[in-house]
Amino acid sequence: MTVARKGPFVGFPRGWFVVGFSDELKPGDIKSLKYFNETMMMYRGEDGVVRIMDSICPHLGADLAAGGKVVGGGVVCPFHHWRYGADGSCVEIPYCEKIPKKATLNARTVKELNGMIFLWYHPAGEAPDFEVPVLPNEEQEGWLPWAHSIIRIKTHSKEIVENVVDLAHFGPVHGTHVDRFTNEFIDHKAIQHTGGVAYPRGGGKDVFELDATYYGPGFQISDMRGYMHSMLVNAHTMIDENTLDLRFGVSIKPLPDKEATENIKKMYVENLTVGFLEDVQIWENKEYLERPLLCAADGPIAKLRRWYAQFYHPEHFEVESVTHVN
Ligand code: FES
Ligand SMILES: [Fe+2]
Protein backbone atom coordinates (compact mmCIF):
# COMPACT_ATOMS: atom_id res chain seq x y z
CA MET A 1 0.00 0.00 0.00
CA THR A 2 1.23 3.46 -0.81
CA VAL A 3 1.53 5.74 2.21
CA ALA A 4 0.77 9.34 1.32
CA ARG A 5 3.50 11.78 2.29
CA LYS A 6 2.61 14.33 4.89
CA GLY A 7 4.15 17.25 3.02
CA PRO A 8 5.05 20.43 4.86
CA PHE A 9 2.11 20.45 7.29
CA VAL A 10 2.40 19.27 10.88
CA GLY A 11 -0.62 18.83 13.14
CA PHE A 12 -4.01 20.18 12.11
CA PRO A 13 -5.31 23.48 10.78
CA ARG A 14 -7.69 25.66 12.76
CA GLY A 15 -11.27 25.99 11.60
CA TRP A 16 -14.89 24.95 11.91
CA PHE A 17 -15.30 21.25 11.24
CA VAL A 18 -18.51 19.30 10.79
CA VAL A 19 -18.79 16.42 13.27
CA GLY A 20 -22.32 15.38 12.40
CA PHE A 21 -25.66 16.37 10.92
CA SER A 22 -28.29 17.58 13.39
CA ASP A 23 -30.63 14.67 12.70
CA GLU A 24 -27.97 12.20 13.91
CA LEU A 25 -28.12 13.42 17.51
CA LYS A 26 -31.37 13.29 19.48
CA PRO A 27 -31.80 14.70 23.01
CA GLY A 28 -30.06 12.30 25.40
CA ASP A 29 -27.68 10.85 22.76
CA ILE A 30 -23.94 10.75 23.40
CA LYS A 31 -21.45 10.04 20.63
CA SER A 32 -17.74 9.45 20.81
CA LEU A 33 -15.71 11.89 18.67
CA LYS A 34 -12.15 10.93 17.86
CA TYR A 35 -10.78 13.79 15.82
CA PHE A 36 -7.48 15.69 15.75
CA ASN A 37 -5.86 12.83 17.72
CA GLU A 38 -8.13 13.66 20.67
CA THR A 39 -10.86 11.78 22.51
CA MET A 40 -14.03 13.80 22.85
CA MET A 41 -17.78 13.29 23.03
CA MET A 42 -20.73 15.22 21.76
CA TYR A 43 -24.13 14.97 23.31
CA ARG A 44 -27.47 16.65 23.05
CA GLY A 45 -28.77 17.68 26.47
CA GLU A 46 -32.36 17.32 27.55
CA ASP A 47 -32.52 21.06 26.84
CA GLY A 48 -31.82 20.31 23.15
CA VAL A 49 -28.38 21.98 23.15
CA VAL A 50 -25.39 20.17 21.61
CA ARG A 51 -22.19 20.20 23.66
CA ILE A 52 -18.74 18.82 22.91
CA MET A 53 -16.25 18.02 25.66
CA ASP A 54 -13.18 15.94 26.26
CA SER A 55 -14.62 12.60 27.29
CA ILE A 56 -11.93 11.03 29.47
CA CYS A 57 -12.99 11.39 33.09
CA PRO A 58 -10.23 12.99 35.20
CA HIS A 59 -11.20 10.73 38.12
CA LEU A 60 -9.99 7.32 36.93
CA GLY A 61 -10.05 7.64 33.18
CA ALA A 62 -13.37 6.20 32.01
CA ASP A 63 -14.58 7.41 28.64
CA LEU A 64 -17.91 9.13 29.21
CA ALA A 65 -18.85 8.49 25.58
CA ALA A 66 -18.93 4.75 26.41
CA GLY A 67 -21.91 4.36 28.73
CA GLY A 68 -22.25 7.88 30.13
CA LYS A 69 -25.75 9.24 30.62
CA VAL A 70 -27.15 12.65 29.77
CA VAL A 71 -28.86 14.36 32.71
CA GLY A 72 -30.31 17.81 32.06
CA GLY A 73 -27.61 19.77 30.22
CA GLY A 74 -24.81 17.63 31.67
CA VAL A 75 -23.49 14.10 31.73
CA VAL A 76 -22.84 11.38 34.33
CA CYS A 77 -19.73 9.18 34.13
CA PRO A 78 -20.54 5.45 33.90
CA PHE A 79 -17.71 4.38 36.26
CA HIS A 80 -18.40 6.09 39.65
CA HIS A 81 -21.23 8.42 38.66
CA TRP A 82 -19.43 11.72 38.97
CA ARG A 83 -21.82 14.20 37.39
CA TYR A 84 -20.62 16.99 35.12
CA GLY A 85 -22.69 20.09 34.36
CA ALA A 86 -23.37 21.86 31.07
CA ASP A 87 -20.07 23.78 31.27
CA GLY A 88 -18.02 20.64 31.96
CA SER A 89 -17.36 21.22 35.65
CA CYS A 90 -18.10 18.41 38.11
CA VAL A 91 -21.21 19.26 40.13
CA GLU A 92 -21.73 16.07 42.10
CA ILE A 93 -19.84 13.08 43.48
CA PRO A 94 -22.49 10.76 44.96
CA TYR A 95 -20.19 9.42 47.71
CA CYS A 96 -18.23 12.58 48.60
CA GLU A 97 -19.26 16.12 49.54
CA LYS A 98 -16.05 17.83 48.54
CA ILE A 99 -15.46 18.12 44.80
CA PRO A 100 -11.81 18.43 43.72
CA LYS A 101 -11.13 21.80 42.04
CA LYS A 102 -9.72 20.26 38.90
CA ALA A 103 -12.68 17.94 38.31
CA THR A 104 -13.63 19.41 34.93
CA LEU A 105 -14.09 18.19 31.39
CA ASN A 106 -12.72 20.64 28.86
CA ALA A 107 -15.73 22.07 26.98
CA ARG A 108 -15.18 22.86 23.31
CA THR A 109 -16.59 25.60 21.11
CA VAL A 110 -19.52 24.18 19.19
CA LYS A 111 -22.17 25.59 16.92
CA GLU A 112 -25.27 24.03 15.45
CA LEU A 113 -26.25 25.75 12.23
CA ASN A 114 -27.75 24.86 8.85
CA GLY A 115 -28.68 21.37 10.08
CA MET A 116 -25.06 20.56 10.96
CA ILE A 117 -22.93 20.40 14.09
CA PHE A 118 -19.64 22.27 13.88
CA LEU A 119 -16.67 21.94 16.21
CA TRP A 120 -14.15 24.77 16.33
CA TYR A 121 -10.61 23.40 16.40
CA HIS A 122 -7.52 25.47 17.12
CA PRO A 123 -4.20 23.76 17.91
CA ALA A 124 -3.50 26.26 20.72
CA GLY A 125 -7.10 26.40 21.96
CA GLU A 126 -7.77 29.93 20.73
CA ALA A 127 -11.24 31.32 19.97
CA PRO A 128 -12.76 31.42 16.44
CA ASP A 129 -11.50 34.17 14.16
CA PHE A 130 -14.02 33.54 11.38
CA GLU A 131 -17.54 32.19 11.06
CA VAL A 132 -19.56 29.88 8.85
CA PRO A 133 -22.52 31.54 7.08
CA VAL A 134 -26.22 30.91 7.45
CA LEU A 135 -27.32 28.97 4.37
CA PRO A 136 -30.56 29.34 2.40
CA ASN A 137 -31.92 26.07 3.82
CA GLU A 138 -31.71 27.55 7.33
CA GLU A 139 -33.29 30.90 6.61
CA GLN A 140 -35.73 30.13 3.77
CA GLU A 141 -38.70 27.82 3.84
CA GLY A 142 -39.04 25.04 1.35
CA TRP A 143 -35.59 23.46 1.12
CA LEU A 144 -35.57 19.73 1.72
CA PRO A 145 -33.57 18.42 4.68
CA TRP A 146 -30.04 17.20 3.96
CA ALA A 147 -29.65 13.80 2.39
CA HIS A 148 -26.22 12.95 3.74
CA SER A 149 -23.53 10.33 3.88
CA ILE A 150 -20.03 9.74 5.26
CA ILE A 151 -16.88 7.99 4.07
CA ARG A 152 -13.63 7.43 5.98
CA ILE A 153 -10.63 8.10 3.76
CA LYS A 154 -6.92 7.54 4.15
CA THR A 155 -5.65 10.92 3.07
CA HIS A 156 -4.83 14.42 4.29
CA SER A 157 -7.33 17.26 4.15
CA LYS A 158 -5.10 19.32 1.86
CA GLU A 159 -5.55 16.80 -0.96
CA ILE A 160 -9.31 17.35 -0.96
CA VAL A 161 -8.98 21.11 -0.75
CA GLU A 162 -6.76 21.14 -3.86
CA ASN A 163 -9.77 20.06 -5.95
CA VAL A 164 -10.90 23.69 -5.75
CA VAL A 165 -8.28 24.79 -8.24
CA ASP A 166 -7.67 21.55 -10.09
CA LEU A 167 -9.43 22.46 -13.30
CA ALA A 168 -7.76 19.69 -15.29
CA HIS A 169 -9.12 16.79 -13.23
CA PHE A 170 -12.83 17.41 -13.83
CA GLY A 171 -12.84 15.83 -17.28
CA PRO A 172 -10.63 12.80 -16.64
CA VAL A 173 -11.92 11.96 -13.13
CA HIS A 174 -15.55 13.11 -13.20
CA GLY A 175 -16.41 13.21 -16.90
CA THR A 176 -17.54 16.84 -16.49
CA HIS A 177 -17.15 19.35 -19.28
CA VAL A 178 -16.04 22.71 -17.88
CA ASP A 179 -16.67 25.88 -19.94
CA ARG A 180 -15.83 28.50 -17.35
CA PHE A 181 -13.57 28.19 -14.35
CA THR A 182 -12.25 30.91 -12.05
CA ASN A 183 -10.99 31.05 -8.47
CA GLU A 184 -11.02 33.71 -5.78
CA PHE A 185 -9.24 33.73 -2.43
CA ILE A 186 -10.71 36.14 0.10
CA ASP A 187 -9.43 35.87 3.68
CA HIS A 188 -10.74 32.54 5.03
CA LYS A 189 -12.70 31.80 1.84
CA ALA A 190 -11.51 29.92 -1.25
CA ILE A 191 -14.06 30.08 -4.05
CA GLN A 192 -14.48 28.26 -7.31
CA HIS A 193 -16.88 29.53 -9.97
CA THR A 194 -17.66 26.95 -12.61
CA GLY A 195 -20.01 26.65 -15.53
CA GLY A 196 -20.29 23.54 -17.63
CA VAL A 197 -22.07 20.33 -18.38
CA ALA A 198 -22.13 17.34 -16.06
CA TYR A 199 -22.79 13.91 -17.51
CA PRO A 200 -24.32 11.92 -14.64
CA ARG A 201 -23.03 8.34 -14.62
CA GLY A 202 -26.60 7.07 -14.98
CA GLY A 203 -27.07 8.93 -18.28
CA GLY A 204 -28.38 12.31 -19.39
CA LYS A 205 -26.73 15.68 -18.98
CA ASP A 206 -27.07 18.63 -16.66
CA VAL A 207 -26.01 22.13 -17.71
CA PHE A 208 -24.90 23.85 -14.51
CA GLU A 209 -23.49 26.96 -12.87
CA LEU A 210 -21.74 26.39 -9.58
CA ASP A 211 -20.15 28.53 -6.87
CA ALA A 212 -18.25 26.39 -4.42
CA THR A 213 -16.91 28.17 -1.34
CA TYR A 214 -14.61 26.82 1.34
CA TYR A 215 -15.12 28.58 4.68
CA GLY A 216 -11.83 27.65 6.26
CA PRO A 217 -9.95 24.44 5.56
CA GLY A 218 -12.64 21.81 6.22
CA PHE A 219 -16.06 22.99 5.15
CA GLN A 220 -17.25 23.73 1.62
CA ILE A 221 -20.67 24.66 0.30
CA SER A 222 -21.52 24.48 -3.38
CA ASP A 223 -24.44 26.48 -4.61
CA MET A 224 -25.41 24.67 -7.79
CA ARG A 225 -27.93 25.84 -10.34
CA GLY A 226 -28.66 23.15 -12.89
CA TYR A 227 -31.89 21.38 -13.60
CA MET A 228 -32.53 21.97 -9.89
CA HIS A 229 -31.24 24.54 -7.45
CA SER A 230 -29.23 22.58 -4.91
CA MET A 231 -26.66 22.99 -2.19
CA LEU A 232 -23.93 20.47 -1.70
CA VAL A 233 -21.89 20.10 1.46
CA ASN A 234 -18.36 18.75 1.41
CA ALA A 235 -16.96 18.63 4.91
CA HIS A 236 -13.82 16.82 5.99
CA THR A 237 -12.62 16.44 9.54
CA MET A 238 -9.25 14.91 10.31
CA ILE A 239 -8.93 11.95 12.68
CA ASP A 240 -5.16 11.79 12.49
CA GLU A 241 -2.67 13.23 10.02
CA ASN A 242 -3.51 10.68 7.37
CA THR A 243 -7.17 9.78 7.99
CA LEU A 244 -10.33 11.83 7.76
CA ASP A 245 -14.09 11.55 7.73
CA LEU A 246 -15.62 13.05 4.62
CA ARG A 247 -19.24 14.04 5.10
CA PHE A 248 -21.31 15.13 2.20
CA GLY A 249 -24.89 16.12 1.75
CA VAL A 250 -27.41 17.53 -0.68
CA SER A 251 -30.30 19.86 -0.03
CA ILE A 252 -32.56 20.88 -2.88
CA LYS A 253 -35.27 23.36 -3.49
CA PRO A 254 -38.17 21.13 -4.53
CA LEU A 255 -40.09 21.31 -7.78
CA PRO A 256 -43.90 21.40 -7.55
CA ASP A 257 -43.93 17.72 -8.57
CA LYS A 258 -43.09 15.82 -5.36
CA GLU A 259 -42.24 12.51 -6.98
CA ALA A 260 -39.94 14.09 -9.55
CA THR A 261 -38.22 15.99 -6.73
CA GLU A 262 -37.65 12.80 -4.72
CA ASN A 263 -36.21 11.00 -7.74
CA ILE A 264 -33.89 13.88 -8.56
CA LYS A 265 -32.76 14.15 -4.95
CA LYS A 266 -31.89 10.45 -4.97
CA MET A 267 -30.02 10.84 -8.24
CA TYR A 268 -28.06 13.86 -6.96
CA VAL A 269 -26.92 11.95 -3.86
CA GLU A 270 -25.95 8.93 -5.93
CA ASN A 271 -23.99 11.11 -8.34
CA LEU A 272 -22.31 12.97 -5.55
CA THR A 273 -21.30 9.69 -3.94
CA VAL A 274 -19.95 8.38 -7.22
CA GLY A 275 -18.12 11.70 -7.76
CA PHE A 276 -16.39 11.52 -4.39
CA LEU A 277 -15.50 7.87 -4.84
CA GLU A 278 -13.85 8.77 -8.15
CA ASP A 279 -11.67 11.27 -6.26
CA VAL A 280 -11.03 8.89 -3.35
CA GLN A 281 -9.21 6.41 -5.53
CA ILE A 282 -6.78 9.17 -6.49
CA TRP A 283 -6.50 10.71 -3.00
CA GLU A 284 -5.77 7.45 -1.20
CA ASN A 285 -2.94 6.54 -3.51
CA LYS A 286 -1.31 9.79 -4.59
CA GLU A 287 1.78 11.39 -3.15
CA TYR A 288 1.88 15.03 -2.07
CA LEU A 289 4.51 16.69 -4.19
CA GLU A 290 5.84 19.81 -2.53
CA ARG A 291 7.22 20.86 -5.89
CA PRO A 292 4.75 19.63 -8.49
CA LEU A 293 5.64 20.04 -12.14
CA LEU A 294 2.82 22.23 -13.39
CA CYS A 295 1.97 23.39 -16.89
CA ALA A 296 0.71 26.81 -17.96
CA ALA A 297 -2.95 25.76 -18.09
CA ASP A 298 -3.13 24.27 -14.57
CA GLY A 299 -5.20 26.12 -11.97
CA PRO A 300 -3.65 28.36 -9.26
CA ILE A 301 -2.31 25.54 -7.08
CA ALA A 302 0.39 27.71 -5.46
CA LYS A 303 -2.18 30.32 -4.43
CA LEU A 304 -4.42 27.63 -3.02
CA ARG A 305 -1.56 26.18 -1.00
CA ARG A 306 -0.71 29.58 0.46
CA TRP A 307 -4.39 30.08 1.31
CA TYR A 308 -4.51 26.68 3.06
CA ALA A 309 -1.30 27.37 4.98
CA GLN A 310 -2.86 30.38 6.75
CA PHE A 311 -4.87 27.99 8.92
CA TYR A 312 -1.74 26.40 10.37
CA HIS A 313 0.30 27.74 13.18
CA PRO A 314 3.28 29.53 11.56
CA GLU A 315 5.69 27.06 13.20
CA HIS A 316 3.79 24.19 11.67
CA PHE A 317 4.47 24.65 7.99
CA GLU A 318 6.87 25.90 5.42
CA VAL A 319 5.25 27.26 2.31
CA GLU A 320 6.87 25.44 -0.55
CA SER A 321 7.65 27.18 -3.79
CA VAL A 322 5.49 25.95 -6.64
CA THR A 323 6.40 27.13 -10.09
CA HIS A 324 4.50 27.01 -13.31
CA VAL A 325 6.44 25.73 -16.29
CA ASN A 326 5.52 27.51 -19.50
S1 FES B 1 -13.79 7.44 36.22
FE2 FES B 1 -15.44 8.79 35.98
S3 FES B 1 -16.40 8.79 37.87
FE4 FES B 1 -14.68 7.55 38.18
FE1 LIG C 1 -12.85 15.96 -7.74
Kindly report, residue by residue over 162-179, the tens digit of the pLDDT. 999 999 998 899 888 999
User: Does the pLDDT of residue 186 top 80, yes or no?
Assistant: yes
Nearest to 285 by CA among 155, 193, 178, 179: 155
Is the pLDDT confidence value at 3 over 70?
no
CA of 152 to the centre of ligand 2 (A): 16
Indicate whether residue 57 lines ligand 1 (CB < 6 A).
Answer: yes
Ligand nearest to the CA of 170: 2
pLDDT mean over 194-204? 82
Radius of gyration of the chain (CA): 22
Tell me which residues have their CB within 5 A of the ion that is ligand 2. 163, 279
**How does residue 2 score in pLDDT terms, banded at 50, 70 and 90?**
very low
- Confidence class for position 321, pLDDT limits 50, 70, 90: very low
pLDDT tens, residue by residue, 294-311: 999 999 999 999 999 999
Question: How far is 204 from 226, CA to CA, in rounded Å?
Answer: 13
Tens of pLDDT, residue by residue over 218-227, are 999 999 998 8
Rounded to the nearest integer, the mean pLDDT of the chain is 90
Centre of ligand 1 from the C-alpha of residue 23, in Å: 30
What is the set of domains in the chain, with CATH numbers?
15-121 (2.102.10.10), 136-289+297-302 (3.90.380.10)
Number of the ligand 1 atom closest to the C-alpha atom of 64:
2
Q: How many Å separate Cα 143 from the centre of its chain?
A: 21
Cβ atoms within 10 A of the Cβ of 34, count? 15
What one-letter code names the amino acid at 264? I
Question: Is the CB of 79 inside a 6 Å radius of any atom of ligand 1?
Answer: yes
When pLDDT is averaged across residues 10-38 and rounded to a whole number, the result is 97
> Residues with Cβ < 8 Å from 45, sequence gap 6 or more?
27, 51, 70, 72, 73, 74, 86
User: Does the beta carbon of 77 lie inside 6 Å of ligand 1?
Assistant: yes
173 alpha carbon – ligand 2 mean position (Å): 7
